[in-house]
């Protein structure tokens, strides 16, 4: 449905602006009149129609996605508006006017129209799975059902902000090592394809046998200079093959298993998954969502098929009367801290509080692990580059030393 920006006057003659979706400009004017507004100007947005006429979404707009930052800010604003006792439609209208993201604005317009048609907020959000996750939808549904939507939205805003903050911290910490690896690789490539061939041309006139390191260096340099494009194609082919394998059920499971068991990064990935699982489960239970439903949602949040399967198996055992901690511990995928704290929470009746404490603990461990990992990666990269450069220098200088010894 096309989206229109409008300028209008209300019943008191005060000017107002906004956006509305309708099939035609005439339908848009009709909707505005029903809302007590008299349109003075209506323009269709560029997202839905170009100057040429027909309604069409370009390939570029189809590829647009709502950034996590925009969604996080929107969630906090929505929670604040709901806490101020605004209705859902009033809050959505305010969000539409405030957001800078065209794609998010268009989505919110469609959500508002769905709510105006009599659907619940969760049902309206569920129509946009690429923007609103299952957690977002189920939290909204829980808030509507229990009549605590403002409180639930505040919880959800805290969760999304915390997850975004953790992601930004990890990304920021990895920028410098990644930059060093790229620059180091480019320098090494320049040495092997330009500098080394220029220097080693003087060795072609030597009748003596070149040292083994020098011959290896010349062979590697000649190969890279002649077949660098082939290596690029091979790397691209391998990347595409790995990506295709990862999309299969078997490949996804193997990769997810490796992700939580790999040296160094495995513990970090597991801690991040445990933080998401425990915080999400704790917030869902605090929002009065049934345990089995909460486990199903939390299992999807961990973003790991191995852990999701373990949670799904635990749900089946819990359905048959088992405790929460026992099947999670028996799976072998969950750290002892998680199962122990869940067991304590079940016995004391403070399960939600225990889950949130575990989540806070894992968030702190993730930050410490990222700092430790980056502090380890940086010197390793420097040492590797130093060893490689020293090897190249040694391979270049060895024949010169031998030539100098022969002359003497």
Q: Would you kindly state where each structural domain of the chain is located, as residue ranges?
A: 3-63, 68-162, 176-408
DSSP state string for 155-224: HHHHHHHHHHHHHHHHHHHHHHHHHHHHHHHHHHHHIIIIIHHHHHGGGGG--SPPPHHHHHHHHHHHHH
Residue 194 has, within 13 A of its CA and on its CB side, a CA count of: 6
15-21: strand order across its sheet: 15-21, 3-9, 38-44
The domain made up of 176-408 has a fold known as: Receptor-associated Protein (1.20.81)
CA atoms of 2 and 57, how far apart (whole Å) = 10
- Please give the chain's pLDDT, 408 residues, in tens: 566 777 777 777 777 777 676 777 777 778 777 777 777 777 766 444 333 343 444 344 444 578 888 888 898 899 899 888 888 988 998 888 888 888 888 889 889 888 888 888 989 998 888 888 877 887 788 788 777 788 888 888 888 888 788 788 778 877 888 888 888 888 888 888 887 787 777 776 666 677 888 888 888 888 888 887 888 899 899 999 999 998 898 999 999 999 898 887 888 889 988 988 998 888 888 877 888 888 888 887 788 899 989 999 999 999 998 889 999 889 888 999 898 999 999 899 899 999 989 998 998 888 888 888 878 887 888 888 888 888 888 888 888 777 666 655
CA atoms of 299 and 166, how far apart (whole Å) = 20
Which listed CATH number (1.20.81.30, 2.60.40.10, 3.40.720.10, 3.10.129.10) goes with 68-162? 1.20.81.30
pLDDT at 316: 92
Entry pTM: 0.67
């Amino acid at each position: 449905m096309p989206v229109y920006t409008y300028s209008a006057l209300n019943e008191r003659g005060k000017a107002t602006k906004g956006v509305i979706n309708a099939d035609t400009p005439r339908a848009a004017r009709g909707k505005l009149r029903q809302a007590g507004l008299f349109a003075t100007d209506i323009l269709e947005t560029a997202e839905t129609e170009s100057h040429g006429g027909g309604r069409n979404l370009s390939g570029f707009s189809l590829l647009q996605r709502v950034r996590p930052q925009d969604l996080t800010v929107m969630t906090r604003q929505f929670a604040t508006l709901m806490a101020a006792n605004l209705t859902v439609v009033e809050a959505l209208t305010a969000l539409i006017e405030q957001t800078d993201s065209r794609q998010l604005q268009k989505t919110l317009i469609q959500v508002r129209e769905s709510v105006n048609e009599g659907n619940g907020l969760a049902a309206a959000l569920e129509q946009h799975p690429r923007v609103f996750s299952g957690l977002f939808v189920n939290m909204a549904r829980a808030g509507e059902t229990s009549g605590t939507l403002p409180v639930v939205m505040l919880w959800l805003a805290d969760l999304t902000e915390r997850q975004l903050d953790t992601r930004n911290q990890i990304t920021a910490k990895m920028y410098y090592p990644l930059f060093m690896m790229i620059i180091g690789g480019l320098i090494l490539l320049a040495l092997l394809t330009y500098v080394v061939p220029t220097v080693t041309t003087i060795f072609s006139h030597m009748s003596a046998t070149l040292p083994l390191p020098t011959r290896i260096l010349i062979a590697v340099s000649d190969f890279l200079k002649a077949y660098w494009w082939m290596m690029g194609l091979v790397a691209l082919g391998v990347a595409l093959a790995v990506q295709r394998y990862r999309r299969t059920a078997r490949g996804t499971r193997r990769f997810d298993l490796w992700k939580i068991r790999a040296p160094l990064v495995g513990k970090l990935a597991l801690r991040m998954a445990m933080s998401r699982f425990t915080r999400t489960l704790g917030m869902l239970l605090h929002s009065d969502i049934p345990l089995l439903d909460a486990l199903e949602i939390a299992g999807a949040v961990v973003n790991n098929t191995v852990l999701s399967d373990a949670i799904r198996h635990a749900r089946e055992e819990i359905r048959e009367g088992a405790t929460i901690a026992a099947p999670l511990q028996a799976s072998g995928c969950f750290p002892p801290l998680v199962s122990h704290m869940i067991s304590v929470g079940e016995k004391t009746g403070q399960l939600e509080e225990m889950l949130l404490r575990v989540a806070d603990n894992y968030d702190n461990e993730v930050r410490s692990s990222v700092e430790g990992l980056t502090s380890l990666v940086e010197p390793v990269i420097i040492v590797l580059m130093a060893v490689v450069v020293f090897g190249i220098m040694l391979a270049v200088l060895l024949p010169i030393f031998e030539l100098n010894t022969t002359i003497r």
